[in-house]
Amino acid sequence: MKFISKKTLLTLAFCLTVASFFAQKKPADSLYVFTFFKGNGEDGLHLAYSEDGFKWKALKDNKSFLTPEVGKDKLMRDPCVIQGGDGLFHMVWTVSWTDKGIGYASSKDLIHWSKQEFIPVMAHEEKTRNTWAPEITYDAKSKTYMIYWASTIEGAFPETQSTEDKGYNHRIYYTTTNDFKKYSPTKLLYEPGFNVIDSSILKDDKGYIMFLKDETKVPVQKNLKVAYSKKLTGPYSKASEPITGNYWAEGPTAVKIKGDWVVYFDKYRDHQYGAVKQNGNKWEDISNQISFPPGTRHGTIIKVAASVVTHLLEQ
C-alpha cells in the first residue's frame, strides 16, 4: 500500500480549489450594452457595457463612436440599437428638434457603421412639428422591423391640446420594413388620450409590452406608464398607472433580468439615471442600485455576445 505525502495532498487540494474558482468565474457568453447620447447629441453615439445590468462602464473613455451627419441639426439624440434577424445592428435616432424624419445606420460590430441615411417618415404631413425618439422592434415571425416615434401634428387631437410645453401634443406613429430600403406608409400606432412620447416596445410572454412617457404637464404627469398588445402593431391597451415615482422621468428602456423587467430612465431634471424593477403587479424603485457613466442620456439596452464587447474594449 502506497501512502500519499502531505505535500502531494496540499498540492492536490490547491489545484482543486483553483479549478473550482475558475469554474465559478467562467466568462459570460453575453453582456449588456447601453447606447446613449450626451449633451444635446452633437457628438453622436456613446456606448457603455455591464455584466449584470446594474453597474455600467463607459467604452472608449466615454467618447463618441459615431458622429451625426444627417438632418437639419445633425444631432444624434435618443439612439436606439437592436440586433436584427440578419445579425446586423440597426440604429435609428433623433436628428433634429424640428425635422420630419429620423436617422438610420447599420453595423456588424457597433464600431464600423454604414452610410447614415435620413428617413422622411413624416414628410407626408405638412403640419408635422417634430419626429422624436424613434425606436425599432423586430418581429421574428414575420421578419419585419417596426420603427416608431413621437410626433406633433398641428391641429390633430384638439381635445388634449394645451398651451403648455410650447403646444406640443404628441402621439406615437410607425412604419414597417423588411430591408431598410422600402417602408410602409406611416400610420398612427398609439393614441392614449394624452400627450405621449418615448415609447419602447419589447416582446413579452403574452405579446408585447410598451413602456411610454405621459408628457402631460397640466395636471402634471411627466411619468412612465405601461401598455400591452397581442400584436406588435397593436391595438395597445389603455396606459397603466405610473410605474415611476414623484419625479420627472423620460426615455425608458427595459430588459428582463432573472425573469423580471428592469426599466431604466432619464431623471432629466435631476441629471441622473433611475430604474424601477417589476415585483409582481408592483414596481420597486431601485435607482440606488444602479450606476451609469457621467452625462448619460436617453438610450437603449441590448444584450450582445461577449465577443462584441471584447472588440469594443479594444477601441
Compute the average pLDDT of residues 68-87: 98
Query: In whole angstroms, how far apart are CA 84 and each of 34, 110, 136, 312?
Result: 16, 13, 10, 19
Q: What is the pLDDT of residue 27?
A: 62
- Cell reading at 204: 413579452
Dihedral pair phi/psi, residue 263, rounded to 5°: -110, 125
Cα(135)–Cα(228) distance, rounded to whole angstroms? 17
Burial of 202 (0-12, 13-18, 19+ CB in 10 A): middle
| Residue 310: DSSP 8-state | H
Dihedral pair phi/psi, residue 22, rounded to 5°: -70, -30
Q: Is 292:53 a contact under the CB 8 Å cutoff?
A: no
Helices (H), the chain: 6-24, 306-313
Beta bridge partners of 47: 35
Indicate whether 24 pLDDT > 80: no
**CA torsion angle for 205, 290, 304, 103 (degrees, to 10)?**
90
Q: What is the pLDDT of residue 13?
A: 47
Lowest-pLDDT range, 15-29, 50-64, 170-184? 15-29
- Cell reading at 273: 439615471
Q: Is 95:73 a contact under the CB 8 Å cutoff?
A: yes
Query: What is the overall mean pLDDT for the chain?
Result: 93
Name the pTM for this structure. 0.91
Q: What is the pLDDT of residue 227?
A: 99
pLDDT in tens, 214-271: 999 999 999 999 999 999 999 999 999 999 999 999 999 999 999 999 999 999 999 9
pLDDT in tens, 7-23: 444 444 444 443 444 44
The three-state secondary structure class of 255 is strand
Cα(82)–Cα(159) distance, rounded to whole angstroms? 35
Q: What is the pLDDT of residue 26?
A: 56
List strands edge to edge, sheet with 144-151: 132-139, 144-151, 171-177, 187-190
Q: Which domains does the chain have, with CATH numbers?
A: 28-313 (2.115.10.20)
Grid coordinates 390633430 are at which residue? Answer: 156
| Residue 85: DSSP 8-state | T
Closest CA to 266 of 93, 95, 169, 133: 133
